[in-house]
Amino acid sequence: MAETATKKYTEAVGRRKTSVARVRLFPDTKQSYSINDREFEVYFPTAELRMTVTDPMTKSKITEKFRVSAKLNGGGIHSQAEALRHGISRALIIFDKELRGVLKKEGFLKRDPRAKERRKFGLKKARKAPQWSKR
């Protein structure tokens, strides 16, 4: 019978608007990212989005290298990048409790609660009412 080698990993969930990121951090020899089984540069084409995702690693100045594997769904690409940042930050806290102060100061641990407000009946949008006419 073949022996299965299970690698230890740290798992966390990050959220933003309607995006959900399930993140796993595997200790590795070099830093790499895999999002929905695709390349990091392919999934996040702009440098701004890539910087958003890698911020928790760079700002915390962590010496360990990780292979980040993430499953993203829901929302838009910017919202997914911020959800991934939230998930990576949470996973780093589980891995090393000392990083909490640095990541909290940067605001990466706060789940940004802002989302689109629902439309109410009798209105055109969430708050925009039809034009009122006296006569």
> Domain of 50: which CATH number?
3.30.230.10
Residues 6+ apart with CB under 8 A from 36: 43, 70, 71, 72
Residues 6+ apart with CB under 8 A from 127: 117, 120
Q: Answer yes or no: is 68 within a domain.
A: yes
Q: Answer yes or no: is 38 within a domain.
A: yes
Residues 6+ apart with CB under 8 A from 57: 31, 66, 88, 92
Q: Answer yes or no: is 3 within a domain.
A: no
Apex 105 CA angle, 35 and 28, nearest 5: 35
What residues make up the domain containing 65? 10-106
pLDDT of residue 135: 86
pLDDT of residue 13: 95
pTM reported for the whole predicted model: 0.86
pLDDT of residue 105: 92
Q: Answer yes or no: is 2 within a domain.
A: no
pLDDT of residue 96: 87
Q: Answer yes or no: is 117 within a domain.
A: no
Q: Answer yes or no: is 131 within a domain.
A: no
Say how many domains are in the chain: 1
Helix ranges (H only) for the chain are 40-43, 47-60, 77-95, 100-106
pLDDT of residue 64: 85
Q: Answer yes or no: is 120 within a domain.
A: no
Could you tell me if 32 and 50 are in contact, meaning their C-beta atoms sit under 8 angstroms apart? no
Which ranges of the chain have pLDDT less than 50? 1
Q: Answer yes or no: is 135 within a domain.
A: no
